[in-house]
Amino acid sequence: MAKGAGKVEQNRRARMRTFADASLHIVATEGLAALTMSRLAEELGTVPSAVYRYFPSKGALITAVQCDAIERLTASYELIRNYSEARFAEAGLDSDALCVTRLVMFGRWFCATADTHPEELRLLQMIMSERSQGLDPDGGFEVLPVAMVLLGQAAERLDEAESLGLTTPGESLERVIVWAAALGGVLETDALARFLPELLGDGRLARTTNLDLLRGWGVSDEALAAATAVVDQVASSRPLAPTAERAS
Protein backbone atom coordinates (compact mmCIF):
# COMPACT_ATOMS: atom_id res chain seq x y z
CA MET A 1 0.00 0.00 0.00
CA ALA A 2 2.77 2.40 0.96
CA LYS A 3 4.68 1.46 -2.17
CA GLY A 4 1.69 2.36 -4.35
CA ALA A 5 1.24 5.65 -2.54
CA GLY A 6 4.92 6.42 -3.15
CA LYS A 7 4.49 5.87 -6.88
CA VAL A 8 1.43 8.10 -6.95
CA GLU A 9 3.36 10.84 -5.16
CA GLN A 10 6.28 10.53 -7.58
CA ASN A 11 3.90 10.85 -10.52
CA ARG A 12 2.25 13.88 -8.93
CA ARG A 13 5.59 15.59 -8.40
CA ALA A 14 6.70 14.79 -11.93
CA ARG A 15 3.47 16.26 -13.30
CA MET A 16 3.88 19.41 -11.21
CA ARG A 17 7.46 19.80 -12.47
CA THR A 18 6.19 19.52 -16.02
CA PHE A 19 3.68 22.29 -15.33
CA ALA A 20 6.36 24.40 -13.61
CA ASP A 21 8.86 23.97 -16.45
CA ALA A 22 6.32 24.94 -19.10
CA SER A 23 5.10 27.88 -17.01
CA LEU A 24 8.63 29.15 -16.49
CA HIS A 25 9.24 29.06 -20.24
CA ILE A 26 6.04 30.99 -20.95
CA VAL A 27 6.81 33.63 -18.33
CA ALA A 28 10.43 34.03 -19.37
CA THR A 29 9.64 34.39 -23.06
CA GLU A 30 6.23 36.07 -23.05
CA GLY A 31 5.91 37.75 -19.64
CA LEU A 32 3.81 37.18 -16.54
CA ALA A 33 0.60 38.39 -18.16
CA ALA A 34 0.84 35.66 -20.81
CA LEU A 35 0.66 32.85 -18.28
CA THR A 36 -2.93 31.68 -17.88
CA MET A 37 -4.35 28.27 -17.15
CA SER A 38 -5.57 28.08 -20.75
CA ARG A 39 -2.19 29.12 -22.18
CA LEU A 40 -0.39 26.53 -20.04
CA ALA A 41 -2.83 23.82 -21.03
CA GLU A 42 -2.31 24.72 -24.68
CA GLU A 43 1.46 24.56 -24.24
CA LEU A 44 1.23 21.04 -22.84
CA GLY A 45 -1.55 19.76 -25.09
CA THR A 46 -4.01 19.23 -22.27
CA VAL A 47 -7.11 20.96 -20.86
CA PRO A 48 -7.31 23.76 -18.25
CA SER A 49 -9.08 21.48 -15.79
CA ALA A 50 -5.95 19.33 -15.66
CA VAL A 51 -3.95 22.35 -14.51
CA TYR A 52 -6.54 23.27 -11.90
CA ARG A 53 -6.16 19.82 -10.33
CA TYR A 54 -2.69 20.89 -9.20
CA PHE A 55 -2.99 24.67 -8.91
CA PRO A 56 -6.21 26.37 -7.73
CA SER A 57 -5.36 29.73 -9.33
CA LYS A 58 -2.88 31.54 -11.53
CA GLY A 59 -1.44 33.14 -8.40
CA ALA A 60 -0.78 29.73 -6.87
CA LEU A 61 0.82 28.59 -10.11
CA ILE A 62 3.12 31.64 -10.25
CA THR A 63 4.09 31.10 -6.62
CA ALA A 64 5.04 27.49 -7.37
CA VAL A 65 7.04 28.55 -10.42
CA GLN A 66 8.87 31.23 -8.42
CA CYS A 67 9.79 28.75 -5.69
CA ASP A 68 10.93 26.15 -8.21
CA ALA A 69 13.10 28.64 -10.11
CA ILE A 70 14.75 29.98 -6.95
CA GLU A 71 15.38 26.44 -5.70
CA ARG A 72 17.17 25.64 -8.97
CA LEU A 73 19.33 28.74 -8.64
CA THR A 74 20.11 27.86 -5.02
CA ALA A 75 21.12 24.33 -5.97
CA SER A 76 23.41 25.72 -8.66
CA TYR A 77 25.10 28.12 -6.24
CA GLU A 78 25.58 25.40 -3.64
CA LEU A 79 27.27 23.18 -6.25
CA ILE A 80 29.81 25.82 -7.24
CA ARG A 81 30.24 26.95 -3.64
CA ASN A 82 31.20 23.43 -2.56
CA TYR A 83 33.48 22.94 -5.56
CA SER A 84 35.17 26.31 -5.23
CA GLU A 85 35.81 25.94 -1.51
CA ALA A 86 38.06 22.98 -2.28
CA ARG A 87 39.89 25.03 -4.92
CA PHE A 88 40.28 27.94 -2.50
CA ALA A 89 41.79 25.60 0.08
CA GLU A 90 44.29 24.36 -2.50
CA ALA A 91 45.24 27.98 -3.23
CA GLY A 92 46.15 28.48 0.43
CA LEU A 93 44.26 31.76 0.81
CA ASP A 94 44.45 33.58 4.13
CA SER A 95 41.20 34.57 5.87
CA ASP A 96 40.96 38.01 4.26
CA ALA A 97 41.70 36.78 0.75
CA LEU A 98 39.32 33.87 1.18
CA CYS A 99 36.53 36.18 2.29
CA VAL A 100 36.92 38.52 -0.69
CA THR A 101 37.22 35.62 -3.12
CA ARG A 102 33.95 34.20 -1.84
CA LEU A 103 32.27 37.54 -2.47
CA VAL A 104 33.63 37.77 -6.00
CA MET A 105 32.56 34.18 -6.61
CA PHE A 106 28.96 34.86 -5.61
CA GLY A 107 28.72 37.74 -8.06
CA ARG A 108 30.42 35.79 -10.82
CA TRP A 109 28.07 32.85 -10.22
CA PHE A 110 25.12 35.21 -10.57
CA CYS A 111 26.52 36.54 -13.85
CA ALA A 112 27.05 32.99 -15.13
CA THR A 113 23.41 32.06 -14.57
CA ALA A 114 22.61 34.10 -17.68
CA ASP A 115 24.14 31.24 -19.71
CA THR A 116 22.99 28.17 -17.79
CA HIS A 117 19.76 29.35 -16.12
CA PRO A 118 18.43 32.13 -18.38
CA GLU A 119 14.74 31.50 -17.71
CA GLU A 120 15.20 31.29 -13.95
CA LEU A 121 17.23 34.50 -14.02
CA ARG A 122 14.59 36.22 -16.13
CA LEU A 123 11.87 35.21 -13.68
CA LEU A 124 13.94 36.43 -10.76
CA GLN A 125 14.21 39.81 -12.46
CA MET A 126 10.45 39.88 -12.94
CA ILE A 127 9.91 39.04 -9.27
CA MET A 128 12.12 41.97 -8.26
CA SER A 129 10.73 44.50 -10.74
CA GLU A 130 7.12 43.65 -11.54
CA ARG A 131 3.91 42.97 -9.66
CA SER A 132 0.87 41.52 -11.36
CA GLN A 133 -2.76 41.37 -10.30
CA GLY A 134 -2.61 37.68 -11.16
CA LEU A 135 -0.20 36.96 -8.33
CA ASP A 136 -1.32 35.38 -5.11
CA PRO A 137 -1.14 38.14 -2.45
CA ASP A 138 -0.11 35.50 0.09
CA GLY A 139 2.45 33.92 -2.23
CA GLY A 140 5.26 35.94 -0.73
CA PHE A 141 4.95 33.96 2.49
CA GLU A 142 5.96 30.89 0.48
CA VAL A 143 8.50 32.51 -1.83
CA LEU A 144 10.41 34.55 0.77
CA PRO A 145 11.72 31.60 2.84
CA VAL A 146 12.90 29.90 -0.35
CA ALA A 147 14.62 33.07 -1.55
CA MET A 148 16.24 33.60 1.84
CA VAL A 149 18.10 30.29 1.55
CA LEU A 150 19.97 31.81 -1.40
CA LEU A 151 20.11 35.47 -0.39
CA GLY A 152 21.00 34.56 3.16
CA GLN A 153 24.18 32.83 2.02
CA ALA A 154 25.34 35.98 0.25
CA ALA A 155 24.40 38.07 3.28
CA GLU A 156 26.55 35.83 5.47
CA ARG A 157 29.50 36.45 3.15
CA LEU A 158 29.01 40.19 3.47
CA ASP A 159 28.68 39.97 7.26
CA GLU A 160 31.94 38.04 7.39
CA ALA A 161 33.67 40.69 5.27
CA GLU A 162 32.41 43.47 7.52
CA SER A 163 33.54 41.64 10.65
CA LEU A 164 37.06 41.40 9.16
CA GLY A 165 37.06 45.09 8.32
CA LEU A 166 37.14 44.41 4.57
CA THR A 167 33.93 46.34 3.84
CA THR A 168 32.30 49.40 5.29
CA PRO A 169 29.42 48.86 7.73
CA GLY A 170 26.06 48.27 6.08
CA GLU A 171 22.89 46.20 6.13
CA SER A 172 23.94 42.96 4.43
CA LEU A 173 20.54 41.83 3.20
CA GLU A 174 19.86 45.26 1.71
CA ARG A 175 23.18 45.04 -0.11
CA VAL A 176 22.39 41.55 -1.42
CA ILE A 177 19.10 42.79 -2.88
CA VAL A 178 20.93 45.68 -4.56
CA TRP A 179 23.61 43.22 -5.73
CA ALA A 180 21.12 40.86 -7.36
CA ALA A 181 18.99 43.63 -8.87
CA ALA A 182 22.00 45.46 -10.29
CA LEU A 183 23.65 42.40 -11.82
CA GLY A 184 20.37 41.11 -13.22
CA GLY A 185 19.57 44.46 -14.76
CA VAL A 186 22.99 44.83 -16.35
CA LEU A 187 22.83 41.28 -17.72
CA GLU A 188 19.60 42.26 -19.49
CA THR A 189 21.57 44.85 -21.48
CA ASP A 190 23.52 42.09 -23.22
CA ALA A 191 20.56 41.96 -25.61
CA LEU A 192 22.06 45.13 -27.09
CA ALA A 193 25.45 43.51 -27.70
CA ARG A 194 25.09 43.62 -31.48
CA PHE A 195 24.91 47.42 -31.27
CA LEU A 196 27.70 47.83 -28.70
CA PRO A 197 29.93 44.77 -29.12
CA GLU A 198 32.91 46.55 -27.60
CA LEU A 199 31.05 46.99 -24.30
CA LEU A 200 28.30 44.39 -24.05
CA GLY A 201 28.01 40.65 -24.51
CA ASP A 202 29.18 37.57 -22.60
CA GLY A 203 28.31 39.22 -19.29
CA ARG A 204 31.36 41.48 -19.41
CA LEU A 205 29.65 44.59 -18.10
CA ALA A 206 27.93 42.60 -15.36
CA ARG A 207 31.27 41.21 -14.19
CA THR A 208 32.63 44.75 -14.06
CA THR A 209 29.55 45.86 -12.13
CA ASN A 210 30.13 43.04 -9.65
CA LEU A 211 33.57 44.42 -8.84
CA ASP A 212 32.31 47.99 -8.80
CA LEU A 213 29.68 47.13 -6.19
CA LEU A 214 32.19 45.37 -3.96
CA ARG A 215 34.60 48.25 -4.40
CA GLY A 216 31.86 50.67 -3.43
CA TRP A 217 31.30 48.70 -0.24
CA GLY A 218 34.95 49.10 0.69
CA VAL A 219 36.83 46.13 -0.78
CA SER A 220 40.26 47.20 -2.02
CA ASP A 221 41.30 47.06 -5.68
CA GLU A 222 44.26 44.84 -4.79
CA ALA A 223 42.05 42.32 -3.00
CA LEU A 224 39.53 42.30 -5.86
CA ALA A 225 42.24 41.70 -8.45
CA ALA A 226 43.69 38.79 -6.50
CA ALA A 227 40.25 37.29 -5.90
CA THR A 228 39.29 37.64 -9.56
CA ALA A 229 42.42 35.73 -10.59
CA VAL A 230 41.44 32.83 -8.32
CA VAL A 231 37.83 32.80 -9.56
CA ASP A 232 39.08 32.88 -13.16
CA GLN A 233 41.05 29.73 -12.44
CA VAL A 234 37.92 28.03 -11.13
CA ALA A 235 35.98 29.20 -14.19
CA SER A 236 38.58 27.63 -16.47
CA SER A 237 37.86 24.20 -14.98
CA ARG A 238 34.06 24.18 -14.92
CA PRO A 239 30.96 26.38 -15.42
CA LEU A 240 30.47 28.81 -12.54
CA ALA A 241 26.69 28.26 -12.56
CA PRO A 242 26.33 24.48 -12.97
CA THR A 243 22.97 22.85 -13.49
CA ALA A 244 21.87 20.59 -10.67
CA GLU A 245 19.88 17.40 -11.27
CA ARG A 246 16.61 17.47 -9.40
CA ALA A 247 15.43 14.49 -7.40
CA SER A 248 12.23 12.75 -8.43
- Angle 216-154-76 (CA atoms, 0-180°, nearest 5)? 125
Q: Give alpha helix (H) positions in 92-117.
A: 95-116
- Tell me the fold of 65-235: Tetracycline Repressor; domain 2 (1.10.357)
Whether the model pTM is above 0.95: no
Kindly state the percentage of the chain with pLDDT values over 90: 48
Half-sphere exposure of 79 (CA within 13 A, CB side): 18
What confidence category does residue 6 fall into, taking pLDDT thresholds of 50, 70 and 90?
confident
* Strongest mean pLDDT among 1-15, 34-48, 154-168, 186-200: 154-168
Give 229's pLDDT tier (boundaries 50, 70, 90).
very high
Burial call 200-231: b when 16+ CB within 10 Å, e when fewer: beebebbbebbbebbeebebeeebbebbbebb
So what's the architecture of 1-55 in CATH? Orthogonal Bundle (1.10)
Domains 1-55 and 65-235 equal at CATH topology level: no
For residue 133, the model assigns a pLDDT of: 44
Q: What are the structural domain ranges in the chain?
A: 1-55, 65-235
